[in-house]
Amino acid sequence: MENQVPFPEEALMAAAARFSQLNGDHLTDFDLAELRTWGLVEISADDLAESILERLRGAVEPPRTFRDSAYFVLGKKFDPSLKSFFVERMEFELSRDMEAVYQLMIALDNLREPVFAKDRTGYSVLDNDLNRRDAENYLRNFR
């Protein structure tokens, strides 16, 4: 992936596998093949995250499908230094893409942020009203 900009959407699931691998998870043969295909076998977590963030922050806004997947992938890094980015993007996405908001909520939840209300017994990308309520509450109270 070196010097390839912008980060291709097709490589995002391989990036998720790389973060999982770096967090100690065992990868399938398919995942390992994807890492080789996209040149992600030896990339550091920080360099990988930076490549994705560059595309998200670029002059040309990436499509919704890239953003949704990228938030999911970055959440797999479990990196507290990304908290402010996740909060900023949740505020940005709240008025336009609830699937992206949900992925950002999961990323914050991975950081043990209290983004979901305590009264919820489960979470789903389909629960737009509950997700909106919880995202707005989090943005009001926990920034």
The pTM of the full predicted model, rounded to 2 decimals, is 0.92
Is residue 75 within 8 A of residue 103, CB to CB? The reply is yes
DSSP readout, 111-128?
Answer: TT---S-TT-S---TT-H
pLDDT reading at 103 higher than 60: yes
pLDDT tier at 121, thresholds 50, 70, 90: confident
pLDDT tier at 73, thresholds 50, 70, 90: very high
pLDDT tier at 40, thresholds 50, 70, 90: very high
pLDDT tier at 59, thresholds 50, 70, 90: confident
- Residue 141's pLDDT is 92
Q: What is the DSSP letter of 62?
A: P
Q: How high does pLDDT run on average in the chain?
A: 94
pLDDT, tens only, 81-97: 999 999 999 999 999 99
- Residue 110's pLDDT is 96
User: 3-state DSSP call for residue 40?
Assistant: coil
- Residue 3's pLDDT is 46
Q: 16: number of CA atoms within 13 Å, CB side?
A: 15
pLDDT tier at 143, thresholds 50, 70, 90: low
- Residue 6's pLDDT is 83
pLDDT tier at 104, thresholds 50, 70, 90: very high
